[in-house]
């Protein structure tokens, strides 16, 4: 058999074996989709890369309408207290029955690093597939999402008293 024909046969054979293996892996339900069964370190690393590169590619060209204005921060706090705190915690809010069983676990935004504004806007607007993070574009318009961004950027330095004041105060 000529050399190229041999190579083609090996490549086709390998692809067919991979397709059959992949089909069997899915078809026989080998993969445990349960949220209490965590990914292997390799799968997790791949998913995190995929997520971060995807978000970076889509958020870097966003025009930041981020304004550090107390009125917008207060408006963002109201949305946050209604829509987000159960998953993302807040200063003085440290317990959530819903959050503990989630995988991936929603980050505690009161304890994290300062969020990059465009990235936060994109994530809040579009959500993240195969995680509990919803797309809020159906609930909040862009201006309201920028209010939330202005607010979440304040969270890491916020005291429980300020959070309570902001989230309760009605304008
Ligand atoms: C039902 C749970 C849930 C709710 C409600 C929720 N989120 Fe999330 N959020 C998540 C999860 C889970 C992730 C992590 C997803 C991942 O890493 O794949 C996340 C990620 C994020 C991130 C990215 C943080 C980072 O450092 O990468 C931001 C910002 C965020 N959410 C903001 C919000 C805001 C603002 C709201 C409310 C408008 C909200 N989320 C409501 C579950 C939730």
Cα–Cα distance between 41 and 44 in angstroms, integer?
5
Q: Residue 106's domain is classified under what CATH number?
A: 1.10.760.10
Per-residue tens of pLDDT for the chain, all 171 residues: 789 999 999 999 999 999 999 999 999 999 999 999 999 999 999 999 999 999 999 999 998 777 789 999 999 999 999 999 999 999 999 999 999 999 999 999 999 888 999 999 999 999 999 999 999 999 999 999 999 999 999 999 999 999 999 998 655
Residue 56 maps to a domain:
no
Q: Whose CA is nearest to atom 17 of ligand 1?
A: 104
pLDDT, position 169: 60
Nearby residues of 105 by Cβ (< 8 Å), 6 or more positions away: 99
Residue 38 falls inside a structural domain: no
Q: Residue with the nearest Cα to atom 37 of ligand 1?
A: 84
Number of domains comprising the chain: 1
Q: What is the C-alpha separation between 147 and 27, in angstroms, rounded? A: 46
Please check whether residue 92 lies inside any domain of the structure.
yes
pTM over 0.85: yes
Rounded to the nearest angstrom, the gap between the alpha carbon of residue 79 and the centroid of all alpha carbons in its chain is: 18
Which atom of ligand 1 is least distant from the CA of 83? 37
User: Is residue 47 in a domain?
Assistant: no
Gap from CA of 127 to ligand 1 centroid (Å): 7
Can you tell me which residue has the tokens 């993969």?
31
Residue 52 belongs to a domain: no
108 CA distance to ligand 1 middle (Å) = 9
Hey, which of 88, 124, 137, 151 would you mutate to test ligand 1's pocket, going by the most ligand atoms within 8 Å of its Cβ? 88
Round to whole Å and give the CA distance between 3 and 34.
Answer: 47
- Residue 126 lies inside a defined structural domain of this protein: yes
pLDDT value, residue 170: 56
112 lines ligand 1 (CB under 6 A): yes
Q: Which domain holds residue 75?
A: 65-168
Q: Does some domain include residue 136? A: yes
Encode pLDDT of 61-110 as tens digits.
Answer: 998 777 789 999 999 999 999 999 999 999 999 999 999 999 999 999 99
């Amino acid at each position: 058999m000529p050399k190229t024909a041999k190579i083609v046969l090996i490549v086709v054979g390998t692809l067919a074996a991979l397709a059959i293996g992949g089909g069997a892996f899915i078809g026989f339900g080998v993969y445990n989709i349960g949220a209490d069964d965590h990914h292997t370190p390799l799968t997790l690393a791949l998913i995190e890369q995929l997520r971060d590169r995807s978000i970076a590619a889509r958020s870097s060209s966003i025009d930041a309408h981020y304004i550090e204005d107390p009125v917008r921060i207060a408006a963002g706090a109201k949305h946050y207290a209604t829509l987000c705190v159960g998953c993302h915690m807040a200063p003085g809010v440290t317990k959530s029955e819903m959050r503990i069983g989630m995988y991936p676990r929603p980050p505690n935004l009161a304890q994290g690093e300062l969020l990059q504004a465009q990235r936060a806007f994109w994530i809040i607007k579009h959500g993240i597939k195969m995680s509990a993070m919803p797309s809020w574009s159906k609930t909040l318009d862009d201006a309201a999402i920028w209010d939330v961004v202005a607010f979440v950027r304040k969270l890491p330095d916020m005291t429980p008293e300020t959070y309570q004041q902001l989230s309760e105060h009605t304008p």
